[in-house]
Amino acid sequence: MAAGVLVAAGPAVTGNAHRLTRGQRRSVRRAVEQAERTTGVQFCVYLGPTSEDPRSYAEAMFKEAGLHVLPAVLLLVSPEERHVELVTSPEIQGRVSDRICSEAVVEMTGIFATSDIAGGIVAGIQRLQIAVGPGSTDPSAATLPDVIED
């Protein structure tokens, strides 16, 4: 992966993996939309398995989606591998530190341990939103999906 991409990782989900319900998906989507509006940063969540090492998979997904050239965050949650990855673009590294990313991962995994996948994702997004701080969205920027489920 290109230098400058920040990745914080940690083991994630305990208990049984569940797909998001319609209500949970709405909660995650609302958190993503709120974070994007207030920060000007693209947030994208992937929930599902990885076909390889979760870190490599997250980095490849980040690059393939073109997020590495935008102010962007990718949150990958893989219940099957019990893993979470957080990837940020070089453009926002000055706005969010390695420490904050690690703290967000720890907060999410603590909530995942109670089998609340959606709650953990929302908490992580909110934590990052606060850390990234206010910004504006480029109106010409491509709109990416908020949540990708396998």
Ordered structural domains, the chain, with CATH? 6-134 (3.10.310.50)
CA distances to 82, 98, 103, 104, 150 from 49, rounded to whole Å, are: 9, 25, 23, 21, 7
CA distances to 17, 32, 40, 64, 109 from 73, rounded to whole Å, are: 23, 10, 11, 13, 18
- Longest C-alpha distance within the chain, in Å? 42
* CA angle centred on 101, ends 33 and 135, rounded to 5°: 40
Higher pLDDT, 144 or 38: 38
pLDDT at 134: 86
Q: Which two tokens stand for residue 21?
A: 């319900």
Residues 63, 67, 69, 72, Cα dihedral to 10°: -140
DSSP per-residue codes, 21-42? PHHHHHHHHHHHHHHHHHH--E
Tens-digit pLDDT profile for residues 76-101:
998 878 889 999 998 888 888 889 99
Q: pLDDT confidence of 1, banded at 50, 70, 90? A: very low
Higher pLDDT, 1 or 7: 7
